[in-house]
Amino acid sequence: MKEFAGKVAVVTGGSLGIGRAVVRRLAEDGAAVVFCGIDEDGVRATEAELCDAGLDVTGVVADVTDAGQMRALVRRAVDAHGGLDTVVTCAGIQRYGTVEDTAEELWDEVLDVNLKGVFLVCKAAVPELRRRGGGTIVTVSSVQAFASQDRVAAYTASKSAINGLTRAMALDHAADGIRANVVCPGSVDTPMLRWAADLFRGDTSQDDQVAEWGRAHPLGRVARAEEVAEVVAFLAGPRSSFITGAEHRVDGGLLARNPAALPEV
């Protein structure tokens, strides 16, 4: 029997990158997945591709910063499938700037999507998970919750806050049988990383810039979205039944390295 047979999942940011890989991974293992994205063309393309593969997937165009739309997303899953077992929050954006030069509007945009979006979908989902007798929440954060690059003040703040919010949910809802964990990827080959590579590649190619970032990881490359989705699936399912409130780095050893390297001998 497939691990998620009979289970129902909601995934935000499910039309691109890590979110899309998570939707496919859960659906391939038997889940009925309702996902959202902000771009209608992307949502419809992902839905069509996965449904054509025989998977039980429904795409919804929805904005994670809108409380009513997040309630409607959860209600869509419950009405269609009878309940809710898992929530995975993958929606996120990257913006650049220091505290000094980040506009207030940009700060609000990043915190609204990356952090408030997690809060709103989980606020809508927790009562449904409780009615099901428990369930799982998996949030997607970043290694930048632990160690920041420069010029990413808003992004790093949002990711650190996701980790803290996930710990709080794990404690607050443990008695309801709800487990909450956070996945913290390093660099992952997604449209967002490719967008950043175009910003900073200079005279090199996009592929060359991505490869350069990959070499910063001890494994020598960036991750594939499917590799992150494997960890998400583990945390969403029964194999992780005694894990909650935990931070899981999927970073190719990036944060294991002390940058003060010994000289060559």
pLDDT at residue 241, as a whole number: 98
90 and 160 part of one domain: yes
Return the H-helix or E-strand segment holding 109. helix 104-111
With a cut of 70, which residues of the chain have pLDDT below it?
none
Give one DSSP letter per residue of 135-169, joined into a string: EEEEEE--GGGTS--SSBHHHHHHHHHHHHHHHHH
* Coil, strand or helix at 180: strand
Is 262 a domain residue? no
175 and 58 part of one domain: yes
CA dihedral 33, 36, 40, 44 (to 10 degrees): -10
pLDDT at residue 33, as a whole number: 98
167 and 197 part of one domain: no
Number of domains in the chain: 2
pTM, full prediction: 0.96
pLDDT at residue 246, as a whole number: 98
The residues assigned a catalytic role are 155
174 and 232 part of one domain: yes
pLDDT at residue 124, as a whole number: 98
* Coil, strand or helix at 27: helix
Rounded to whole angstroms, the Cα distance separating 184 from 206 reads 24
20 and 68 part of one domain: yes
Residues 6+ apart with CB under 8 A from 204: 212
Q: Taking the CB of residue 43, how many other CB atoms lie within 10 A of it?
A: 21
Ranges of beta strands (E only) in 13-123 are: 32-37, 57-61, 86-89
202 and 79 part of one domain: no
In which domain, by residue range, is 199 found? 189-222
31 and 161 part of one domain: yes
47 and 172 part of one domain: yes
134 and 214 part of one domain: no
**In this predicted model, what pLDDT tens digit does every residue of 60-95 receive, in sequence order?**
999 999 999 999 999 999 999 999 999 999 999 999
Rounded to whole angstroms, the Cα distance separating 141 from 167 reads 12
